[in-house]
Structure 1
Amino acid sequence: MTSYRIHTAATADESVKEPLKALESAFGFVPAAAGLMANSPVLLGSFFAAFGHFRGGGTFGPDERQVLLLSNAVANRCEWAVAFHTLESLEDGVEPAVVEAIRRGERPGDERMAALWAFTQALIETRGHVGDDRVAAFRSAGFTGEQVFEVITAVAISAMTNHTANLARPALEDTVSPHAWTAEYSTGA
């Protein structure tokens, strides 16, 4: 378990109370990773701003956003985030077979979701040094040049939450625990 405090709006620094309240309103609870990030107002503020732009101003639909975030969580081997984004993926309409494939580290059968998964994997594995062929494959699945850069936003958001959760190893929330995952579950681990 964690030795870092998982904050709520009641225990956090004044500068991060509003983001935590907004997250609690959206999810019904303060996700553990956000509660941990509240130990650093800079980290939580950066995450909250980036996530707000990604969710509110981005061009991906809710299901596509979750495929990106779940793919990142698996690639980063973040047990907390995989469980959390499994729940969110299913709630946002991602087909269960797609969710299961991503959790296993396998290419989803749905071609559009497979393109999101593959491009995300390529960005993480190559630290952004993807070749033109990978960008072309992503775009040939119907995605835009703008969305190439939006995937980078998802990778950055995920790095903040995944690294925080990997460092602190919080327990899963009750609503998330049915979707527990370990890195050994993934064929890519």
Structure 2
Amino acid sequence: MVISWLRVPEEAELSEEVRELFARLREKTGFVPNVARAFALSPRFLLWFWYYDQLMRGEGLLTREEKEAMAIAISGENRCEYCVASHKRYLKDLTGDPVLPEVLAANPRRADLPPRTRALVDFALKVTHRHHEMTEGDLRPLREVGLSDEAILEAAEVAAMFNFTNRLLNALGFKPNPEYYHAP
């Protein structure tokens, strides 16, 4: 199966550090995500992976569910097949809700969300489509639902990370693992 339009290195070619990461991923999920396999072509991959992992899975002020909702909404708008598939799977696993991830991917504006998550998703959509028009007033809805400036910074990081990653994966033809579609 082709997972990228670029050459995907064989594991034997990779540094010990990357092979160790792949082993941890296999142990945790049962497979190596194609994004890791394709990004391994660049030594900078470990920096991206570290930042992504800290932002999405590390300690933060936003919940994992909120960040996944933002990721799906952004990735759906950007038509990133890889991120839509993988993050829908993650949100389904986190919430047990098979419908919400589908609605977020198809039309996030119609998703039934708690007020805080709605404010975060709306903010993420503006960052995605009209970032150049943003003003300080765009932070008001986030503050009104109780988000601190630190949490708002985290939300902006999530929005920027997914807009960056969606564009990179789309530009290089990354394909999602079948496991994202067939997980229990």
Deviation at 1:12, TM superposition (A): 2.6
Unaligned runs of 5+ in 1: 180-189
Distance verdict in 2 for CA 1:67–1:6, change over 3 Å: farther
Q: How far apart in 2 are the matches of 1:7 and 1:57?
A: 32
Aligned-residue sequence identity (percent) comes to 23
**1:52 corresponds to:** 53
What is the correspondence of 1:6-155 to structure 2 with a 5 Å cutoff?
6-7=8-9, 9-42=11-44, 44-54=45-55, 55-93=57-95, 95-107=97-109, 108-110=111-113, 111-127=115-131, 129-155=133-159
Unaligned runs of 5+ in 2: none
Give the partner amino acid of 1:174. P
Q: How far apart in 2 are the matches of 1:50 and 1:136?
A: 27
Give the partner amino acid of 1:103. A
**2:174 corresponds to:** 170
Determine which structure has the larger helix proportion and give its number.
Answer: 2
Q: How far apart in 2 are the matches of 1:125 and 1:90?
A: 26
Q: Which moved more, 1:101-110 or 1:22-31?
A: 22-31
Distance verdict in 2 for CA 1:49–1:146, change over 3 Å: same
- Tell me, yes or no, if the aligned pair for 2:127 and 2:160 is still in contact at 8 Å: no
Q: Secondary structure at the match of 2:159?
A: helix
Deviation at 1:9, TM superposition (A): 4.9
Q: TM-score, normalised by structure 1?
A: 0.79
Q: TM-score, normalised by structure 2?
A: 0.81
Distance verdict in 2 for CA 1:3–1:132, change over 3 Å: closer
Distance verdict in 2 for CA 1:154–1:177, change over 3 Å: same
Deviation at 1:127, TM superposition (A): 3.0
Over the residues paired in the alignment, what is the CA RMSD in angstroms?
Answer: 2.5
Q: Secondary structure at the match of 1:172?
A: coil
